[in-house]
Structures are given as structure tokens and as C-alpha cells.
């Protein structure tokens, strides 16, 4: 628990906040202003203030509290006055700066932009991410950005955080914040099936497989995704190339709708990450680059080794971001066999460094050069 005291422009008015620092967004538990004390209760989002309930929409925005009714445009601009601190998607309203607090930075709904640059760098592969001030890549009705860093689907966010009050539907679904459902309804094509969530708020995927007639060789029952280190021979040589391969069910709460999961195998979506060179054939040439979904990486038919990686979804997301960070980092020289050239690295070096940047150490087969010379971690952290 943490206590913060704010002194506003009026020196006679203090605000004393008590926060729950065990939660990701330091949930506001109590606010004291003068003699007025307000206590807040939380589940996944704020539920009530002094026992007066909140009614939230599917984005987590308060639309009714006590006798007040709020309305917003698509970017969160509201003309309604409010006696409580929460606003668009649950952001707290800064009454002095007239901005919304989004953890990493402030957001101004009248412009639909953040006031500071995004700390997470964009990439040309997704041009919509290159504007560092955009709110939710200009898709405010479908995405939320609760930490000011990464926009996500609100239902995806709820599932990833373990919320058990989400009804899943591939066409349109969202939070029923005050009505815990304990069921999931999933539609694919003309088929719709309902499932009962277990005590962890999850679906037993063996039931899904049976209902839809799926066979998912890469994903064990009870999981929604699996990650592997895949290897394949290159240039008909003894050397093998390695890549990260992540498989996800179409309704995987984290990766099911991710734009990088554009390939499919046996009703399972997947993406890859691997290193490459900008040119040349032998010896030392070009610069080392890291890419999602290289043509040879996504060709599963040529893979002759698949080593499982036991990683959580947040680590996969961090590796995706670290790949983009690497592409914006200072250039490194490529060499097929880095041991033969000073200050040079290859695709194995890239993947070894990428995995180590998130705390994973794994060794592929003996024919994969470069793993003993990983790219330094500084190339994968956020670059200014």
C-alpha cells in the first residue's frame, strides 16, 4: 500500500490518495480531500465508491455513477461534469491539467492524442505505429491503452489478466463488468458453441477441440498457444537456421487476433521471428536484420527440429517488441560463421540475443553457428 499527497494550485486543498501497489495500475483505494473520504472497491476494474456502484461500458468507461450519467465521443471527450475521478476507459481525470492519466503518459481526449511520445517504438512493418502520439492507432472503439504503452483489445486484456466475467464471441464481445457470466460462447463460421469456464476462468480446450472437430498438433489441451525453437538446413549446407515459432488457437486471448499471426496450419495460427542478412551469399556481407515471418521461417515443411519453449504470453509479446527495438538499433555486420569474423553476427546470434533479452537460454543442435556469440542485450532494449 502506498500513500501519495497531491497539493493542487489552491494551496488550501490537499488530496491524500491510498494506492494498492500490488496491482498493475496502483488501484486507487481511498481518496481524502479535506473532511471528505471516498473508499473504492475493485474487481478487475473499479466497482464502487462509498458503496455507490459504477456502471461501465465494454471499454471500462464509466457511463453511470450514483445519479450522474456520462457520455463520450469515440476518443473519450465528455461534456458532462463528474464528482468522481474516473473517466474514459478508466483513466483518472487530472482536473488541473485537464488531461487523463494513462500511467506512462497523459492523454488529451479533445485531440485524441497523447501529450508525450510513446516509449515503445513503432515499426515500418506496422505503419500505424510510427506516429508516437496516436491513441490506440486511431481505433478507439476497438482498443484500449491502459498503460500508455501498448493498445490491446479490452476482452483480450481481461482474459490475459485472468478476469472471469468475459463472454467470448468472435463477432462482438466485451466485459459484462457487473454481471459475472462464467460461460464462453464461441462462433466460427456457422457453428456456435457455449462452454463453462473452470475455476480459473478458462475454457477446457479439449472441449473446444471436440465441439469443432479440431486437431491441434502443436497446442496441448488446456493451452491456447505454444512456442518452439525451430531449425532447418540452409543452402544445402551442414549449417542450420533457427527461428522462433509461436502457434495460437484462433480465439487465443492474447494472440488470437494479433496481426502477425497471419499463417495457419491445421486450424492453428502461427507467427515466426528470425534473423537474416541484407545481401551476399558467402562469408561476411551486409547487415544483420531481425524479421517477423520470413518466407523460409514460416515454411514448416522444411523444419527438422522443434524445441519447445516454456514461456508465458507476456514474454512472447516482449520478444516481438524487442525485435522491433533491434530493427531500430545501430546496425551490426552479418557473417554466416561469426567466429571467423570480428564484430560480426548471424541469424543464430540474433535469436540467441533475443531469447537472452527476456531471460531465456537454450541451445539448438550442433549445426547452428552463432549461438555462442549472441547479439548484445543493448540492441533489444528500447532505443531513443
> Does 44 share its domain with 96?
yes
> Does 190 share its domain with 239?
no
315 domain residue, yes or no: yes
> Does 371 share its domain with 230?
yes
212 domain residue, yes or no: no
178 domain residue, yes or no: yes
Cβ count near 256 (within 10 Å)? 20
Q: pLDDT tier at 179 (50, 70, 90 boundaries)? A: very low
109 domain residue, yes or no: yes
Whole-number Å distance between alpha carbons of 113 and 137: 10
**Cα dihedral 352→104→142→165 (10° resolution):** 90
User: Among 122-131, 164-173, 308-317, where is mean pLDDT lowest?
Assistant: 164-173
* DSSP 8-state secondary structure symbol assigned to residue 293: S
> Does 272 share its domain with 366?
yes
384 domain residue, yes or no: no
> How many structural domains compose the chain?
3
* DSSP 8-state secondary structure symbol assigned to residue 302: G
In the block, cell 500513500 appears at 3
Question: Which of 138, 169, 189 is at the close of a domain?
Answer: 138
> Does 17 share its domain with 132?
yes
In this structure, the strands spanning 14-20 and 2-7 are antiparallel
Q: What's the whole-model pTM score?
A: 0.46
Which helix (H) or strand (E) segment holds residue 318: the answer is helix 313-327
Whole-number Å distance between alpha carbons of 104 and 309: 31
> Does 289 share its domain with 314?
yes
> Does 266 share its domain with 374?
yes
Domain span at residue 128? 2-138
214 domain residue, yes or no: no
268 domain residue, yes or no: yes
> Does 229 share its domain with 372?
yes
> Does 131 share its domain with 159?
no
Between 274 and 178, whose confidence is greater?
274
> Does 41 share its domain with 117?
yes
Averaged pLDDT for residues 91-118:
91
> Does 28 share its domain with 117?
yes
Whole-number Å distance between alpha carbons of 219 and 247: 7
Please, are residues 126 and 118 in contact by the beta-carbon 8 Å criterion? no
Question: Which of 138, 169, 188 is at the close of a domain?
Answer: 138
> Does 374 share its domain with 229?
yes
Question: Which of 114, 138, 162 is at the close of a domain?
Answer: 138
208 domain residue, yes or no: no
CA distances from 95 to 135, 160, 173, 248 (A): 20, 32, 32, 43
Between 8 and 331, whose confidence is greater?
331
* CB-neighbour burial class of residue 69 (10 A; exposed 0-12, middle 13-18, buried 19+): exposed
Q: pLDDT tier at 174 (50, 70, 90 boundaries)? A: very low
319-359: per-residue pLDDT in tens? 998 998 898 888 898 887 777 677 889 889 999 999 998 88
User: Among 74-83, 160-169, 350-359, where is mean pLDDT lowest?
Assistant: 160-169
Amino acid at each position: 500500500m502506498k500513500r501519495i499527497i497531491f497539493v493542487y494550485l489552491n494551496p488550501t486543498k490537499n488530496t491524500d490518495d491510498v494506492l494498492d501497489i500490488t496491482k498493475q495500475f496502483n488501484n486507487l483505494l481511498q481518496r481524502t480531500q479535506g473532511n471528505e473520504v471516498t473508499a473504492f472497491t475493485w474487481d478487475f476494474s473499479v466497482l464502487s465508491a462509498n458503496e455507490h456502484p459504477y456502471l461501465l461500458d465494454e471499454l471500462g468507461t464509466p457511463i453511470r455513477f450514483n445519479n450522474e450519467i456520462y457520455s463520450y465521443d469515440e476518443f473519450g471527450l465528455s461534456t458532462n461534469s463528474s464528482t468522481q475521478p474516473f473517466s474514459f476507459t478508466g483513466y483518472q481525470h487530472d482536473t488541473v491539467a485537464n488531461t487523463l492519466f494513462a500511467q506512462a503518459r497523459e492523454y488529451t481526449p479533445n485531440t485524441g492524442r497523447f501529450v508525450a511520445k510513446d516509449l515503445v517504438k513503432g515499426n515500418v512493418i506496422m505503419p500505424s505505429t510510427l506516429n508516437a502520439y496516436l491513441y490506440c492507432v486511431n481505433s478507439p472503439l476497438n482498443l484500449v491503452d491502459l498503460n500508455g504503452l501498448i493498445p490491446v483489445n479490452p476482452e483480450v486484456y481481461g482474459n490475459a489478466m485472468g478476469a472471469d466475467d468475459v463472454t467470448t464471441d468472435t463477432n462482438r464481445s466485451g466485459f459484462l463488468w457487473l454481471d459475472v457470466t462464467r460461460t464462453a460462447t464461441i462462433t466460427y463460421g456457422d457453428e456456435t458453441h457455449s462452454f463453462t469456464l473452470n475455476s480459473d476462468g478458462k475454457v477446457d480446450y479439449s472441449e473446444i477441440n471436440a465441439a469443432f472437430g479440431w486437431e491441434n498438433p502443436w497446442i496441448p489441451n488446456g493451452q491456447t498457444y505454444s512456442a518452439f525453437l525451430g531449425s532447418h538446413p540452409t543452402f544445402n549446407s551442414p549449417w542450420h537456421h533457427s527461428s522462433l515459432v509461436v502457434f495460437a488457437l484462433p480465439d487465443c486471448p492474447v494472440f488470437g487476433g494479433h496481426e502477425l499471426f497471419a499463417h495457419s496450419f491445421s486450424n492453428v495460427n502461427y507467427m515466426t521471428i528470425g534473423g537474416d542478412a541484407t545481401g551476399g551469399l558467402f562469408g561476411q556481407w551486409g547487415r544483420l536484420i531481425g524479421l517477423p515471418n520470413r518466407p523460409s521461417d514460416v515454411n514448416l515443411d522444411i523444419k527438422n527440429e522443434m524445441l519447445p519453449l516454456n514461456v508465458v504470453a507476456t514474454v512472447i509479446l516482449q520478444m516481438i517488441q524487442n525485435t522491433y527495438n533491434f530493427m531500430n538499433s545501430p546496425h551490426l555486420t552479418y557473417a554466416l560463421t561469426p567466429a571467423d569474423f570480428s564484430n560480426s553476427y548471424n541469424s543464430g546470434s540474433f535469436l540467441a540475443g533475443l531469447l537472452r533479452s527476456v531471460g531465456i537460454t537454450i541451445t539448438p543442435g550442433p549445426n547452428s553457428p552463432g549461438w555462442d556469440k549472441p547479439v548484445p542485450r543493448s540492441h533489444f532494449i528500447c532505443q531513443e
